[in-house]
C-alpha cells in the first residue's frame, strides 16, 4: 500500500520503520527534519510538506498533542487536499473531546477516519508488539487492518465511533498509572517495616503480577531510574486529565483518577515534572516520612 506517515517522535519512528520494513511504499513527514534520516535509510520517501503524505491509501499520524494537529492542519484545512480513497489512521493519544472534533472534521471533508490507539512504550513500538485498539467505520478499519497488524501483535476493534478508541486508551492509561501508585504505597509500607523492597518486588512479580507493566515500573521505581524519562510525569498527568475529563462528560466518578491527579500535581510541585512518571512513587515514600537515605 501507499502509506503516508506524519509524526516521527519516539513512538512514531518505531512504527513507521516497521511499516517500511514490511515492504510498503511509505512517505514520511516530520516537523524536525533530522528524524527523517533513519527512515530514508530504510527506504522511505520524505515529504516536503504534510499534504504529500495524504495522497496514498493510508495516512498514519502519531502527534504529541492538539497543537501539533492544528499546526500541521490535520484538524481541518489539510483534509481538503486528501486523496479520495485515503483512510487516516490516527494513533495519537489525545483527549476524547478533541477526538470527537477530529472525527467531525474528517466527516465534513469526507475523509475516512480511524482512531487506532496503541499500548506500549517506544521499545514495544519498535518491536512491533504494541496492542492496538481501533475504532471507526468497519469498512475503513478493515481496509487498514494489514497495517494495524504491522504495528501490533494484538489488534482489537472497539467500536464504530472513532472516539471509542480514545476512551479505551485513556481508561487503559488510568489503569497503568494506578500500578505506579500501587507500588508506591506498597513499597513505602514494606520499606518502613524494614523489609527489602527488592524482596517484595520479587514476591509480587513472580506470580500474580508477572506482567510487563508491573515488572517494568516496579524495576524503575526500585532503581529510582527517573532520568532520562521514558514518559514524563507531566505527560502522565495529561493522560490522567484525559481520563477524568472523559469521566466528567459521562458522569463517571473515577476516584483512582482523582487520587492520581492529586499525587501527580504534588510530584510536579516538588520538581518531578520532567522525570519519568513512575517517580510519582516518591510521593508515597515522602508521605510516610521516608527520605532518600531510607532506600534499602
Write out the catalytic residue numbers. Answer: 169
C-beta of residue 184 within 8 angstroms of C-beta of residue 218? no
* Shortest distance (Å) from residue 66 CB to a second copy: 16
Residue in 10, 45, 109, 129 binding a second copy, rule: CB under 8 A: 129
Taking the least distance from each CB to a second copy, the nearer of 225 and 259 is 259
- Beta-ladder partners of 45: 27
Query: What is the DSSP annotation of the chain?
Result: -EEEEE--SHHHHHHHHHHHHTT-EEEEE-SSGGGHHHHHHHT-EE-SSGGGGGSSSEEEE--SSHHHHHHHTTTTGGGGGS-TT-EEEE-----HHHHHHHHHHHHHTT-EEEEEEEES-HHHHHTT-EEEEEES-HHHHHHHHHHHHHHEEEEEEEESSTHHHHHHHHHHHHHHHHHHHHHHHHHHHHHHTT--HHHHHHHHHHTTT-SHHHHHHHHHHHTT--SS-SSBHHHHHHHHHHHHHHHHHHT---HHHHHHHHHHHHHHHTT-TTSBGGGGHHHHHHHTT--GGG--
* Candidate ranges 4-12, 62-70, 183-191, 224-232; the one touching a second copy (CB under 8 A): 183-191
Q: Grid coordinates standing for 18?
A: 516497521
Q: Which residue among 243, 278, 280, 281 contacts a second copy (CB under 8 A)?
A: 243
Stretch 139-158 residues interacting with a second copy (CB under 8 A)? 153-154, 156-158
Q: Does 272 sit near a second copy (CB under 8 A)?
A: no
Q: Closer CB to a second copy, residue 29 or residue 113?
A: 113
For position 277 contacting a second copy by CB under 8 A, the verdict is no
C-beta separation of 197 from 284 below 8 A: no
**Cβ at position 127, least distance to a second copy in Å:** 11
Quote the CA–CA distance of 113 and 109 in Å, as a whole number. Answer: 10
- Residue 288 touches a second copy, criterion: CB under 8 A: yes
Q: Which residues partner with 115 through β-bridges?
A: 90, 135
Q: Which is nearer to a second copy, 21 or 248 (CB)?
A: 248
By CB under 8 A, residue 291 contacts a second copy:
no
Contacts to a second copy from residues 68-127, by CB under 8 A: 119-120, 124
Q: Which is nearer to a second copy, 98 or 157 (CB)?
A: 157
Q: Which is nearer to a second copy, 72 or 135 (CB)?
A: 135
Of residues 158 through 177, those in contact with a second copy by CB under 8 A are 158-159, 161, 163-164, 167-168, 170-172, 174-176
Cβ proximity to a second copy, 41 vs 160, nearer residue: 160
Residues 188-217 contacting a second copy, CB under 8 A: 188-190, 192-196, 199-200, 202-204, 206-214
How many residues form the binding site for a second copy (CB under 8 A)? Answer: 80
Between 7 and 26, how does the x/- string for binding to a second copy read (CB under 8 A)?
--------------------
Amino acid at each position: 500500500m501507499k502509506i503516508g506517515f506524519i509524526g516521527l517522535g519516539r513512538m512514531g519512528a518505531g512504527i513507521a520503520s516497521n511499516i517500511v520494513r514490511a515492504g510498503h511504499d511509505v512517505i514520511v513527514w516530520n516537523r524536525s527534519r533530522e528524524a527523517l534520516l533513519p527512515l530514508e535509510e530504510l527506504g522511505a520517501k520524505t515529504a516536503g510538506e504534510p499534504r504529500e503524505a495524504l495522497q496514498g491509501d493510508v495516512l498514519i499520524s502519531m502527534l504529541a498533542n492538539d497543537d501539533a494537529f492544528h499546526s500541521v492542519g490535520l484538524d481541518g484545512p489539510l483534509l481538503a487536499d486528501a486523496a479520495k480513497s485515503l483512510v487516516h489512521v490516527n494513533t495519537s493519544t489525545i483527549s476524547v473531546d478533541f477526538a470527537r472534533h477530529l472525527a467531525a472534521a474528517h466527516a465534513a471533508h469526507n475523509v475516512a477516519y480511524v482512531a487506532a490507539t496503541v499500548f506500549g512504550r517506544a521499545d514495544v513500538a519498535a518491536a512491533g508488539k504494541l496492542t492496538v485498539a481501533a475504532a471507526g467505520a468497519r469498512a475503513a478499519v478493515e481496509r487498514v487492518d494489514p497495517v494495524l497488524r504491522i504495528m501490533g501483535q494484538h489488534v482489537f476493534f472497539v467500536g464504530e465511533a472513532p472516539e471509542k478508541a480514545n476512551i479505551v486508551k485513556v481508561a487503559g492509561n488510568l489503569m497503568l498509572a494506578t500500578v505506579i501508585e500501587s507500588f508506591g504505597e506498597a513499597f513505602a509500607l514494606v520499606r518502613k517495616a524494614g523489609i527489602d523492597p527488592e524482596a517484595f518486588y520479587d514476591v509480587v512479580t513472580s506470580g500474580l503480577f508477572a506482567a510487563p507493566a508491573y515488572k517494568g515500573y516496579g524495576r524503575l521505581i526500585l532503581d529510582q531510574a527517573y532520568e532520562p524519562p521514558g514518559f514524563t510525569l507531566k505527560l502522565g498527568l495529561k493522560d490522567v486529565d484525559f481520563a477524568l475529563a472523559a469521566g466528567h462528560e459521562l458522569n463517571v466518578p473515577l476516584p483512582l483518577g482523582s487520587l492520581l491527579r492529586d499525587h501527580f500535581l504534588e510530584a510536579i510541585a516538588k520538581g518531578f515534572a520532567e522525570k519519568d512518571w513512575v517517580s510519582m512513587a516518591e510521593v508515597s515514600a515522602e508521605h510516610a516520612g521516608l527520605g532518600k537515605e531510607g532506600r534499602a
